[in-house]
Amino acid sequence: MSLRNAAVVLGLTAAIALASSSVAIGDVPRTGDQRVGIFACAFSPPCDEITLAANEAFFVAHGFSDEPREDLLNPRHRFELSVDGVQVHGAIDLDLAASAKTYVFNFRAGMTGTHAFTGCWYATDGSLTACGTRVVDFV
């Protein structure tokens, strides 16, 4: 192996190590004390409507735990959230040390009125595993 090839391999190895260490942090903050949970709505329905304080910060956080590293890194293995039928984008909280991938959706300004939160979990091949909807009244 030439010196140039060795330098390239060393550089790639260092880049992978840096990426892996920063991915393992798993520290996406959650906004507010209120949380909208959807898991029970998908995996053990029926799902009750809940009431939260209006105009107060809240979050939705769901994903996967105790999964192999390759599954956690697979982008097809995901959680998606829609509010009133409109897909919402969040942040991925990937903690490889804890074998967890959580999708965090922060709503800093809160909401008012009644809204339907639908969460869907997808398998490693991208196929739909389950969806659940929770209706939330913000008063």
26-138 topology per CATH: Immunoglobulin-like (2.60.40)
Mean pLDDT value across the chain = 86
pLDDT score recorded for residue 26: 65
Residue-range domain boundaries for the chain: 26-138
| Residue 78 pLDDT level (bands cut at 50, 70, 90) | very high
Report residue 1 as tokens. Answer: 């192996």
Span 120-124, mean pLDDT?
98
pLDDT score recorded for residue 82: 98
**Are 57 and 32 a contacting pair, CB within 8 Å?**
yes
Q: Picking from 21-25, 56-60, 82-86, 101-105, which range would have the lowest pLDDT averaged per residue?
A: 21-25
The angle subtended at Cα 91 by Cα 89 and Cα 92, nearest 5°, is 125
Tell which residue, 76, 74, 72, 108, has the closest CA to residue 90. Answer: 108
| pTM of the entire predicted model | 0.80
Strand-strand pairing, 34-35 and 86-88: unpaired
